[in-house]
Amino acid sequence: MDSLGTRIRKLRKEQKLTLEALAGDRLTKGMLSQIENDKAKPSMESLDYIAERLGVKASELLEEVTPSSIRQLLEQVESLFAEVKRGDAHHHQEIVDLIKPSVEGLPQSYEAGRLLYIYADAQYEAGLTTWEVPLQQARTIFKEINLLSHWFKTFILEMAILAAKRQYTLAYDRILQAKEIIEQEDYQLDSRDALLMTYYTSIFQLAIGEHEEGKKLIQETIANAHKNQLFYQIDNMYRIGAYCAMIDRDFEQTNHMFMKLEQYQAFAERVEVDAFIFVLKAHYCNNYSNNYEQALIEIERFYQLRHDDYLDKLDPNFYYAEKGKSLYLLGQYEEAKAAFEQYKHRPIYINHPYDILSLNECFSYKALCYAHFGELTTAYEIAKMAYTDSLDLVDLPYKRKIEEVYRTIKAQIDSIN
């Protein structure tokens, strides 16, 4: 951490000033040299004089991190943060190491809050457990300087981290905490953040098993979005609405959600929305309408969307999971096994129980496929992984299928032994 003298010397050299030029007619070259080398402390009058000649405020010289250095650091960090991918612990650690020397003594400013926000996010992605402290510091700064949207984003990041750790009840508590503070302090969130508040409330209600409450809130939020002509996150709400309708076996509502998604896509023209539609329809055909040929058509549409610009967003595991299931259910076991061999893991950003369970169910079908070919040891390992990975999640039809497959294959193994 730079001393006062070091900060003065750095600023002087950045401005290409000599000792004599900065000293002017109020200080001697020798005295200024002693100040820069921390052998003497300037009086407040001398400090004001030095600051004026450097074009900064005296308070900036006294701060452990100057506003100009924070801005420069933030620009560098933002550039790196925009490029690094989720799950890349090494490059997130580099961001942590870059920010760490400057975190002490940060002022109350947007730049400081943003640095601490990124610092917390990067710490989590790097596998560190110390992310909560800087996130809370960022939250405090944003509240103090009345940047409510950024203050609310600290809750969203915390909820995302807790969801990734499957601490859904804690995540739900955080959104309720934010809501309570907003009501107590009479904060006025902008319309997008107010919508996000209800959106996250609903998805965490669903995550902890409050299905009816979450479903009702999603329906209300969709209705309000149309009423107010605010369609932020509307594609995600339609997707969740479709999931809820499928689980309720309300297929009329399911198809209505599909129709609304397609109407939104015609307006938005976003590839990832198309991807949602095709994966959802494939899932619906495989699990509910038993139209496995149509499921193959839908999932192939998803795969055709993948090209260089969207390879990261459109994870191929979605494709191979549903394709393998369709082929298995059609009795095309060789082709199903070939597809399932490419289905290796869930996408890193899948953290909601509904998505986790539906993909774990595909692993169960993968296990059944291997069992069909007599590879019971491999089948058991896959089935057990899907089963144990689903134990702590909310009870859904997918979870029951996962347990059924595990028990069936385990019984086959036990009968041989």
The predicted-structure confidence for 138-151, as pLDDT tens digits, reads as follows 999 999 999 999 99
pLDDT of residue 2: 67
Residue 246 lies in a domain: no
pTM, two decimals, is 0.82
- Kindly report which listed range (1-5, 112-116, 376-380) carries the lowest average pLDDT score: 1-5
Tell me the pLDDT band of 193, cut-offs 50, 70 and 90.
very high
Provide, rounded to the nearest whole percent, the portion of the chain with pLDDT above 90.
72
The arithmetic mean of pLDDT across residues 287-311, rounded, is 86
Residue 40 lies in a domain: yes
The arithmetic mean of pLDDT across residues 234-250, rounded, is 94
pLDDT of residue 130: 96
Taking only the tens place, the pLDDT of each residue in 195-238 is 999 999 999 999 999 999 999 999 999 998 888 888 888 999 99
Placement of tokens 């610009």 in the chain: 309
pLDDT of residue 416: 86
User: What's the half-sphere exposure (Cβ side, CA atoms, 13 Å) at 324?
Assistant: 26
Residue 39 lies in a domain: yes
Tell me the pLDDT band of 64, cut-offs 50, 70 and 90.
low
Tell me how many domains the chain contains: 1
Structure-model confidence comparison of residues 266 and 202, the more confident one: 202
Residue 275 lies in a domain: no
CA angle 341, 289, 313 (to 5 degrees): 45
The CATH number of residue 30's host domain is 1.10.260.40
Residue 287 lies in a domain: no
| Residue 210 to residue 62: CA distance in whole angstroms | 53
Taking only the tens place, the pLDDT of each residue in 79-89 is 999 999 989 99
Q: Tell whether the model's pLDDT for residue 1 goes beyond 60.
A: no
pLDDT of residue 43: 87
Tell me the pLDDT band of 312, cut-offs 50, 70 and 90.
low
Placement of tokens 């000792």 in the chain: 19
CA 70, distance to chain mean position in Å, is 25
Placement of tokens 């909310």 in the chain: 394
* Residue 354 φ/ψ, nearest 5 degrees: -60, -45
Q: Tell whether the model's pLDDT for residue 118 goes beyond 60.
A: yes
Residue 8 lies in a domain: yes
Q: Tell whether the model's pLDDT for residue 106 goes beyond 90.
A: no
- Exposure string over 201-217, b if 16+ CB within 10 A, otherwise e: bbbbbbbbbbbeebbeb
CB 95 within 8 A of CB 81: yes
The arithmetic mean of pLDDT across residues 92-113, rounded, is 91
Structure-model confidence comparison of residues 262 and 59, the more confident one: 262
Residue 25 lies in a domain: yes
Residue 152 lies in a domain: no
* Residue 326 φ/ψ, nearest 5 degrees: -60, -50
Residue 51: give the domain boundaries.
Answer: 4-62
pLDDT of residue 154: 98
- Kindly report which listed range (40-44, 115-119, 249-253, 367-371) carries the lowest average pLDDT score: 40-44
Taking only the tens place, the pLDDT of each residue in 338-347 is 999 999 999 8
Q: Tell whether the model's pLDDT for residue 393 goes beyond 90.
A: yes
- Exposure string over 72-82, b if 16+ CB within 10 A, otherwise e: ebbeebeeebe
pLDDT of residue 228: 83
